[in-house]
Structures are given as structure tokens and as C-alpha cells.
A = this chain, B = another copy of it.
Amino acid sequence: MSILVKDSIIVTQNADRKIIEGDVYIEDDKIVEVGSVSVEADFVLKNKIVLPGLINMHTHLPMTLLRGYGDDLPLEEWLTTRIWPVEAKLREKHIAIGTKLAFMEMVSTGTTCCNDMYFFEDIIAKEAKSFGMRCYAGFSIIDFDTPEMKAEHLLPECEKFVKKWKDDEIVKPVVAPHSTYTCSPETLEKANEIAGKYDTFIHIHCSETRKEVYDVLNRYGSRPLEQIKKYGLLTGKTMLAHCGWITKGEVKEIAKAKACVIHNPVSNMKLATGGYTPLPELMSEKACIALGTDGAASNNKLDMFETMKFTALIHKHHRWDASIVKAQEVLDMATINAAEFLGLNAGSIEEGKFADIICLDKISPNLIPRHNIISHLVYAASGFNVSDVVINGKAIMLDKKFMNINEEKVYEEAEEAKEELIE
């Protein structure tokens, strides 16, 4: 397949963060030419703002089915009366439909790659493969039985999962010990062994709430990040979701280990965790920061444009300084920073990179006039400005139409799944 985007503003996100006017030509899975291109192509798009697809680094995909089921509740009540009882009823078919719906929402708002963590991750991986979503699929490990299997089967099944998917083109298996409050030291070590054996990433929740920090401290005598480090999991292949309640010392530890902090401001604010992932400190230590939406049950959408805006604004306001967490820095977190951390040959519009790109219509009332495109992408755009999405060279959405999925069927099945789950 070949795709040509003509007469567009190209936000390259290359090393110079150059913005150019011109064309992007894609053949098979790669960006072949950027600049002034005159060739025939299977699909031709015109007058766009082109940028690398956004990378959503923390999702629980099937939770789209729980969107809006229990808001405005204290965290504890939300989990025990709403989320957990419904999660216990989840079966494979629900996972499949919730995941499809998540992919549609993510693609329609400009995400081309996600980093997930849930139960039934093999179903999720299959759905990613069939939809064409680039997906880091995190097999959840926890010390309790899950809706999918008994606790004692999780580690061996995780290893099977990793072996099954490790050579896939667009789905990459990830080992995902849930957190230090739900995984014993022994479980952490065993999860780490699997990750080490197959050289996969580790994805773990870390210091999301202050309660979590104190609970872990009481139980083990160390805070979550210390616990993660103590059992060997703090490495350059570790992705730490949240980190809203870490210390300055922990910031340095994370930077030193070259681990990645995944910031989920919308979910943190909606669940009222009260914490502020210390972005200024992490940036001054040159730690890797990426962004995520978290699950749709606590967001309640999967729009990375919205997450970019919240990211910039929450810290400006908190630190009384409008000049911190700048638009360019935020766009980097959502694109090239995440790609570089993942060792993924994407995250920028450059020749030879994987063709994971998104296009926005140049013309929309909220994007006029064009003083500064980077500012517009972070502060003025909405995910709904996205018109076209290409993942690994495949046109997934063109002119707002999905190319590869029966939309109506997904909506119907999602509503049916909802009925079953909350019966």
C-alpha cells in the first residue's frame, strides 16, 4: 500500500523539531520520502497537519465498557461497589468488544500505539493484531485470582504469552506486575525473571495514591519505588504508571535507572488522588516522561489530545508558573519520547521510520489563525480534529471513516455487553 500526503504542514518531531511545508510519502510500512514528492499513490490526502501518531502509554483497554459506570464516588466506594463487581463478570467476549471499542476511540482521536495492562491480555493482543493497532500488551500479574484464571497460573501463563507474541510485528508482549501493593516481593521477582529472560518491558503502577505509599511502607518498610528497586525491577525497561507521590530522591533514582514515568493527569484528577507527578523535577533530571489516559472508567475517554492539554495545565497551575511544561515538551512526551524509550522506530516523521502518522484537517474554527502549530496541537486541538490515521503503513482511518471494522456492529455489541455486565 502507498499513501501520499500532499501540501501539508509537517510536524516532523525530528531532532530539530522542524516544522516544514510539503509532502509525506509512505510505502509498505515505512515513511519513504518527506519534502516535495511527485509520485502516484493508492491514497492521496491533501491540506493536512501531519504529525507522528500519539502514543498512549497507560491503558486498560476493555474498561471502555465501564465508561461512566460510577463517577463522582470516593475511590474506595467506586472500586468496591462498581468496578470490581463488574470486572468479576468479564468474559472473553466482553474483553474483545471493549478492546475493539477502545481502538476505535483511540484511532479516531489520533493514537497509533498503546501500552496496555489488563486481564485476558491474549485476547487483547489478538484484537490489536486484527485491528492493526500497534500495541504493547501487558499481561497483568497479581497475587489474587483474576476473572480469567487462578492466581497460581498467572506467572506460567504470562511466560507462555510472552513466548507466543515476542516475534510479532506490531504486538509486543510486556510483563505487567500490577503494583507493589498487589504483588508480593516473590511475585515481583518472578515477574522480573520472565521479563529478563525474554528481554521484555515491565509495566507497573507506582505511587498513584498516598494511601498506596503508606500501605506499602507499613507492610514492607519501603515505599513502592524502593520496593520496585529492591527486587530488581527498576531498569531502563521499566514503565512506572502515575508516580504522583514520589520523592525527590526517587526522581533521581528513576532518572539514573533510565526508567520511564507515565503521567496520567486526567485519571489522577478524576479519581482525586491529590498527587502531582513531579514533571519539572523529572525533566531537570532528564528522566523519560510519557503520557497515558489510563482506563476509560477513570478518564472517561481515551483522547491523548485532551491528555496533552491537561498535562501542561495541571503543572502550570500547581507551580504558579505559566512558563513550565511547554507545548513542545508535552508533544514530545506523547510522541518521540515514548518511541525512543520503547526503542520503537517511530515517533517522528522521518525517512525510514515506521509509518505511524496522523493527519488533522488544516482548517477548523479552533485551529485558526495559525500563529503556532505546536501550541495549537496541545492547547487548541481536539482529538476530533484528526481526520486520517496510518499505522505501520496501513490506512486505518481515512476522512474519519474506519477502513477495517464494522462500526455499527461494535457499538451494538458494546451496548449488549454493558447490559450483561450490569444486570
User: Which B residue sits closest to A417, measured CB to CB?
Assistant: B369
A369 to B109 CA separation, bound complex (whole angstroms)? 18
Contact with B along A270-281 (1 / 0, CB 8 A): 111110000000
Kindly state whether residue A316 has any CB partner on chain B within 8 Å: yes
Contact with B along A360-380 (1 / 0, CB 8 A): 000101101111100110011
| Residues B71 and A379 in contact, CB atoms below 8 Å apart | yes
| Residues A368 and B415 in contact, CB atoms below 8 Å apart | yes
In the complex, chain B residues whose CB is within 8 Å of the CB of A272: 316-317, 319-322
Known: A78-B322, A322-B74. A269 touches B379 (CB 8 A): no
Contact with B along A310-327 (1 / 0, CB 8 A): 101110111111111011
Kindly state whether residue A122 has any CB partner on chain B within 8 Å: no
In the complex, chain B residues whose CB is within 8 Å of the CB of A64: 368
Min Cβ gap A103→B in Å is 9
User: Which B residue sits closest to A76, measured CB to CB?
Assistant: B322
Min Cβ gap A377→B in Å is 10
Kindly state whether residue A105 has any CB partner on chain B within 8 Å: yes
Q: Which of B273, B324, B379 interacts with A300 by CB under 8 Å?
A: B379
Kindly state whether residue A75 has any CB partner on chain B within 8 Å: yes
In the complex, chain B residues whose CB is within 8 Å of the CB of A104: 365
Kindly state whether residue A99 has any CB partner on chain B within 8 Å: no
Q: Which of B75, B101, B321, B326 interacts with A368 by CB under 8 Å?
A: B101
A271 to B417 CA separation, bound complex (whole angstroms)? 43
In the complex, chain B residues whose CB is within 8 Å of the CB of A320: 272-274
Kindly state whether residue A383 has any CB partner on chain B within 8 Å: yes
**Identical copies of this chain, number:** 2
| Residues A69 and B317 in contact, CB atoms below 8 Å apart | no
A67 to B268 CA separation, bound complex (whole angstroms)? 28
Kindly state whether residue A65 has any CB partner on chain B within 8 Å: yes
A310 to B324 CA separation, bound complex (whole angstroms)? 19
Min Cβ gap A43→B in Å is 22
A158 to B269 CA separation, bound complex (whole angstroms)? 43
Min Cβ gap A300→B in Å is 4
| Residues A300 and B68 in contact, CB atoms below 8 Å apart | no
Known: A313-B269, A316-B270, A316-B272. A371 touches B69 (CB 8 A): yes
In the complex, chain B residues whose CB is within 8 Å of the CB of A59: none
| Residues A73 and B322 in contact, CB atoms below 8 Å apart | yes
Known: A270-B313, A272-B316, A368-B101. A323 touches B363 (CB 8 A): no
A313 to B312 CA separation, bound complex (whole angstroms)? 15
In the complex, chain B residues whose CB is within 8 Å of the CB of A71: 322, 326-327, 372, 375, 379
| Residues B415 and A67 in contact, CB atoms below 8 Å apart | no
A78 to B321 CA separation, bound complex (whole angstroms)? 12
A-B contact pairs, 16 of them (CB 8 A): A68-B375, A72-B324, A72-B327, A74-B322, A74-B323, A101-B365, A105-B365, A105-B366, A109-B366, A269-B314, A270-B379, A272-B317, A300-B376, A306-B306, A370-B418, A371-B418
Q: Chain A: residues with CB nearer than 8 A to chain B?
A: 64-69, 71-75, 78, 101, 104-105, 108-109, 266, 268-274, 296, 299-303, 306, 309-310, 312-314, 316-324, 326-327, 363, 365-366, 368-372, 375-376, 379-380, 382-385, 408, 411, 414-415, 417-418, 422
